[in-house]
Structure 1
Amino acid sequence: MSDTQQRKIALVTGAGSGIGRACAQKLLASGFAVVLAGRRAAPLEALEGEARARGEEALAAPCDVTDAAAVEALFETIRTRYGRLDLLFNNAGRNAPAVDIDELSVDDWRAVVDTNLTGVFLCTRASFGLMKRQTPRGGRIINNGSISAHAPRPFSAAYTATKHAITGLTKTVSLDGRRYDIACGQIDIGNAATEMAERMARGVPQANGEIAVEPLMDVELVADALLHMAQLPLEANVQFMTIMATKMPFVGRG
């Protein structure tokens, strides 16, 4: 068998920065061949180059997950190059302006739904079809749910609605995937130190109307947690995992 054939094949969406990049790097270092998907080619190609210089197997694959044709082309690339997919990490996501719901434009609402929900559906749909037909069959799908899958922040109607929906999708795919040896779980992340979370260190609105600085955690801890889920045998599944900065305002009333 070739070196590539001996590796498990993973796809990470939103791999160019933040949580996606950290998780892709962790998977690569652990022996996975990783397809790096995202809208911007430059950071994906840079990550691919760094990985290949270390002897790791990475493939930059620019893709807008909201575009059904682009997602199909992405999976055709995976089928052609690797012949299978063992892991999908649905990580790509976006937010909308922090405003009251009556001030949220329909275009901004749809942009969040298209990325955070429809994009996950499109990638999951394609992965499910590949995983149930490949030999040996089966695989694992992990969705990035976020703390917002449990509780909203102020001014987050679109983001919170999509993340609650991801929980329903995770449960359904977990159920429907059983007969095909497809495991589906969800990782809910709170305050990982990435560019997207920089505002937490400056102060963000709280439920009581105050502005407060919130603790952050190292994004590498998220990557470690994701890797634990990814390396389980298919007869076991982490259905839901919450990993968060210990002192962030989530548990409790304040």
Structure 2
Amino acid sequence: MTKSILVTGASSGIGRAVAELFLGRGWTVGLLARRAEKLAQIAEGQRRAVVLPADVTDPAAVEAAFDRFCTEAGRIDVVFNNAGIFTPPGTIDEIALEDWFAAVNVNLNGMFLCARAGFARMRHQNPRGGRIINNGSIAAHVPRPNSVPYAATKAAITGLTKSLSLDGRAYDIACGQIDIGNARTPMVADLAQRQAEAQPDAPPMDTFDVADAARSVLHMAELPLEANVQFMTVMATKMPYIGRG
């Protein structure tokens, strides 16, 4: 039986890399993001791609997207809960309130809504169960300077992951978290440019191929439900993460 995964934030970056890898491995893949035209590009020529244009912060749109995917795929085996944003940097007193609320709305509320929708369907499908993989960040453990909204919301995802992992046991729903550091994506390219402008004499930011992050998600997703990667960190080897860098 063909396995199925719904990927949020599938139009670019890590989400797109994951979606394309899973399509290449024969999975039925739900492509959820706001930009329908970007999703259509990924789905072109892919018989098992399901385009799901939706805003993860819109509860009704999320529910409708999950309903459609389950109808077309037959069931939902995995949710890669990935959609997120990085707002402009600043100390807490400099951060615009609209940026704080936007980060909370996408990075936390959006991930809650998609986890909620996935959990409900996995709980009641036959055979029941499935897996939710939350895209956290090493920012949950070691934040960048001037990144209160991102660091706070990603730390909250760790709590979401633990609670889902605990509550899902009774329903054969596994939940794990992948913390990805400096995969080469448009978001990381923007961060690298900001760093270079702020510190021209600093060495370039260390990054790694986003395809390797996608393969890490695949490893988590392919496990039988009796096994779970609770937390995984995959990052550029020379990132200043351990110790003082």
The bucket for the TM-score relative to the shorter chain is: over 0.9
In structure 2, the residue matched to 1:184 is: 175
1:133 to 92, 100, 124: 124
Contact in 2 for aligned 1:89/1:144 (Cα 8 Å): yes
Deviations 1:141-172 (A, max 9, x none): 00000111111101100000000000000000
Q: Does residue 11 of structure 1 match 2:6?
A: yes
1:43 to 26, 38, 45: 38
Relative to structure 1, the CA distance from residue 121 to residue 182 in structure 2 (aligned partners, 3 Å threshold; closer, same or farther) is same
- Partner of 2:86: helix, strand, or coil? coil
Contact in 1 for aligned 2:50/2:69 (Cα 8 Å): no
Per-residue deviation, 1:212? 4.2
- Partner of 1:51: helix, strand, or coil? coil
Per-residue deviation, 1:198? 1.1
In structure 2, the residue matched to 1:91 is: 82
Structure 2 distance, partners of 1:238, 1:182, is 13
Deviations 1:47-98 (A, max 9, x none): 111423xxxx001111100011110111121232223110000010001111
In structure 1, the residue matched to 2:98 is: 107
Per-residue deviation, 1:200? 5.0
Q: Which runs of 5+ in 1 are unaligned?
A: 1-5
Contact in 2 for aligned 1:200/1:215 (Cα 8 Å): no
TM-score of the two chains, using structure 1 as the length reference: 0.92
Aligned-partner residue type, residue 174 of structure 2: A
Structure 1 distance, partners of 2:135, 2:192, is 22
Structure 1 distance, partners of 2:91, 2:192, is 23
Per-residue deviation, 1:249? 1.2
Q: Does residue 194 of structure 1 match 2:211?
A: no
In structure 2, the residue matched to 1:21 is: 16
Q: Which runs of 5+ in 2 are unaligned?
A: none
Aligned-partner residue type, residue 25 of structure 1: E
Deviations 1:167-212 (A, max 9, x none): 000000000000100000000000001111114544628xx9x854
Please identify runs of 4+ aligned residues in structure 1 that moved more than 6 A: none
2:232 to 241, 245, 248: 241
Relative to structure 1, the CA distance from residue 200 to residue 110 in structure 2 (aligned partners, 3 Å threshold; closer, same or farther) is closer
Once the two structures are superposed, the pairs formed by residues 158-237 of structure 1 within 5 Å of their partners are 158-199=149-190, 201-202=192-193, 204=195, 211-237=202-228
In structure 1, the residue matched to 2:107 is: 116
Number of equivalenced pairs: 243
Backbone CA RMSD of aligned residues:
1.7
Relative to structure 1, the CA distance from residue 147 to residue 50 in structure 2 (aligned partners, 3 Å threshold; closer, same or farther) is farther
Per-residue deviation, 1:103? 1.2
Structure 2 distance, partners of 1:73, 1:246, is 40
Of stretches 130-139 and 96-105 in structure 1, the one that deviates more from structure 2 is: 96-105
Structure 1 distance, partners of 2:220, 2:175, is 10
